[in-house]
């Protein structure tokens, strides 16, 4: 399997600037600045069908194209490395191993969009990753690959690292921009969208770490090469899957998009732990509905996973064995989201603690039949929240109701958790 993001990795340490350069690092930047226009760079990313790796899966080049070219004044690019979704740790792994692909990718993206100042917004706990980024920025500047008049092209870029105080809501792009401006991290009303009015009221693009780190390889090797990395024709490229839970090998893997769920678990994950049997998993981070054994052969790609009733999201796979109580697992996830709500809107502020309370009652043996209907109503009600936090939080609840309603009823009938609350 060809590696894109992990190609420069070294066992147990971060790749050096010299090693990255020796293996073709910054060659894509040299290619772009010497013979490609900003539109050329944008077009190759569009043609490559690179979709955002932060969760939404929106086409990256198309997102760039929304930035108006006729508005005078500065534009901004922000790399979102807030990464607080439970079960998701791919961006940390990537930056601890190789920050240079991100720096090069952000420089290429900034060139394509017409940005002179960009930011890496990173959560406070990612100290090693943040330090790696600062070092990579300094080394790139010293080599003339960042800063003023890069490679004599006339293009300049300042790149800063901003460590966030840290809340899950900062992963929502407009809340992130508020936090970067020094304001409370509440989401903004859209429209206007950030591409038109974002950071400090200026056109802004927000992309994920993994998304931006793919750009150098796409520019260097072309769109057809990138699309050819995937297992199925509707997909393009590789994906970082960070796996945790009841498997033999819980780690972050770079794998072709379109590889099936079963292939991932039985392959690089080494199967289930000894004596354990697969029951379910979260396929794309904590805000995605569960998959069960019936989804074993689903290709792990954005559209295929959506057709199967969930989302690929961040690619954070959490695996549960047969001894896991799915009510307890869902309660654990909803408890996180209830705590991380910014409190800006009523459905999220009031609805998530209420859903948490209902699930807690069911898990404690105090559930009633009407609680099932109440949960179904709230899966719908919380879609009216101001931002995607509450609808995302209800993803596991929707999956619980659709796939494990019998387990909920078992709690209610027995007046206790039949599995002892093992979530």
pLDDT confidence bin for 71, thresholds 50/70/90: confident
pLDDT score at 421 = 63
Q: Is residue 421 part of a domain?
A: no
Mean pLDDT value of segment 234-256 = 96
Q: Say how many domains are in the chain.
A: 3
Cα 180 from Cα 196, distance rounded (Å) = 17
Shared domain check, 251 and 365: no
**Contact status, residue 200 vs residue 160, Cβ threshold 8 Å:** no
Does the pLDDT value for residue 124 go beyond 90? no
Does the pLDDT value for residue 7 go beyond 90? yes
Q: Is residue 47 part of a domain?
A: yes
Mean pLDDT value of segment 164-180 = 91
Shared domain check, 270 and 132: no
Domain boundary, last residue among 172, 207, 227: 227
Q: Is residue 6 part of a domain?
A: no
Shared domain check, 278 and 148: no
pLDDT confidence bin for 2, thresholds 50/70/90: confident
pLDDT score at 324 = 96
The CATH number linked to 376 is 1.20.1440.230
Label residues 352-374 b or e (16+ Cβ within 10 Å = b): bbebbebbbbbbeeebeeebbee
pLDDT score at 422 = 62
Does the pLDDT value for residue 69 go beyond 90? no
pLDDT score at 290 = 97
Mean pLDDT value of segment 348-371 = 95
- In tens, the pLDDT along 42-56 reads 999 999 999 999 888
pLDDT score at 311 = 96
Domain boundary, last residue among 269, 303, 321: 321
Q: Let me know how long the chain is.
A: 423
Shared domain check, 96 and 112: yes
Q: Is residue 12 part of a domain?
A: no
360 contacts: CB under 8 Å, gap ≥ 6: 331
Cα 292 from Cα 283, distance rounded (Å) = 10
Shared domain check, 372 and 282: no
pLDDT score at 55 = 83
Shared domain check, 179 and 117: yes
Domain boundary, last residue among 282, 306, 321: 321
* Residue ranges making up the domain that contains 183: 17-227
Shared domain check, 358 and 250: no
Which among 290, 223, 233 is positioned nearest to 258, based on CA atoms?
Answer: 233
pLDDT score at 423 = 59
Does the pLDDT value for residue 248 go beyond 80? yes
Does the pLDDT value for residue 77 go beyond 70? yes
Q: Is residue 54 part of a domain?
A: yes
Shared domain check, 269 and 201: no
Q: What is the mean pLDDT of the chain?
A: 95
Mean pLDDT value of segment 265-282 = 96
Mean pLDDT value of segment 314-334 = 96
Q: Is residue 8 part of a domain?
A: no
The CATH number linked to 48 is 3.40.50.11540
Does the pLDDT value for residue 349 go beyond 80? yes
Does the pLDDT value for residue 131 go beyond 90? yes
What does DSSP say about strands 252-256 and 238-245: parallel, antiparallel, or unpaired?
antiparallel
CB atoms within 10 A of CB 1: 11
Shared domain check, 207 and 258: no
CB atoms within 10 A of CB 251: 14
Q: Is residue 153 part of a domain?
A: yes
Q: Is residue 201 part of a domain?
A: yes
The CATH number linked to 271 is 3.10.20.600
Does the pLDDT value for residue 158 go beyond 70? yes
Does the pLDDT value for residue 420 go beyond 80? no
Shared domain check, 69 and 186: yes
Shared domain check, 37 and 168: yes
Shared domain check, 304 and 205: no
pLDDT score at 419 = 82
DSSP secondary structure string for all residues of 262-288 = HHHHHTTT-SBPTT--EEEEESSSTTS
């Amino acid at each position: 399997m060809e590696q894109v993001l992990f190609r420069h990795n070294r066992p147990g340490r971060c790749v050096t600037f010299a090693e990255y350069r020796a293996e073709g690092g910054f060659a894509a930047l040299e290619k772009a600045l010497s013979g490609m226009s900003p539109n050329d760079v944008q077009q190759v990313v569009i043609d490559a069908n690179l979709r955002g790796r932060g969760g939404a899966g929106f086409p990256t080049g198309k997102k760039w194209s929304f930035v108006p070219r006729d508005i005078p004044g500065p534009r901004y690019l922000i790399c979102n490395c807030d990464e607080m979704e439970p079960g998701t740790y791919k961006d940390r792994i990537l930056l601890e191993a190789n920050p240079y692909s991100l720096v090069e990718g952000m420089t290429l993206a900034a060139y394509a969009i017409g940005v002179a100042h960009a930011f890496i917004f990173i959560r406070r706990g990612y100290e090693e990753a943040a330090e790696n980024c600062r070092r990579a920025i300094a080394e790139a500047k010293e080599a003339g690959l960042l800063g003023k008049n890069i490679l004599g092209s006339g293009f300049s870029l300042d790149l800063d690292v901003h460590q966030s105080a840290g809340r899950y809501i900062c992963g929502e792009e407009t809340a992130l921009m508020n936090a970067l401006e020094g304001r409370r991290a509440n989401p903004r009303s859209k429209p206007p969208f950030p591409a038109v009015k974002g950071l400090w009221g200026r056109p802004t693009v927000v992309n994920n770490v993994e998304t931006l780190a793919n750009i150098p390889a796409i520019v260097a090797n072309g769109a057809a090469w990138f699309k050819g990395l995937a297992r199925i024709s509707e997909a393009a490229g590789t994906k970082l899957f960070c796996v945790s839970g009841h498997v033999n090998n819980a780690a972050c893997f770079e794998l072709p998009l379109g590889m099936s769920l079963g292939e991932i678990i039985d392959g690089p994950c080494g199967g289930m732990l000894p004596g354990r049997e697969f029951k379910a998993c979260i396929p794309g981070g904590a805000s995605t509905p569960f998959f069960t054994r019936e989804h074993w052969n689903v290709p792990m790609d954005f559209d295929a996973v959506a057709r199967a009733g969930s989302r690929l999201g961040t690619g954070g796979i959490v695996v549960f064995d047969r001894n896991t109580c799915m009510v307890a697992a869902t309660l654990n996830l909803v408890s996180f989201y209830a705590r991380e709500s910014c409190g800006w809107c009523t459905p999220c502020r009031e609805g998530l603690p209420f859903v948490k309370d209902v699930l807690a009652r069911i898990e404690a043996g105090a559930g009633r039949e009407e609680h099932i209907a109440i949960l179904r109503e709230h899966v719908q009600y919380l879609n009216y929240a101001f931002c995607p936090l509450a609808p995302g939080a209800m993803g596991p609840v929707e999956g619980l109701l659709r796939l494990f309603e019998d387990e909920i009823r078992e709690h209610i009938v027995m007046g206790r958790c039949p599995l002892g609350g093992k979530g």
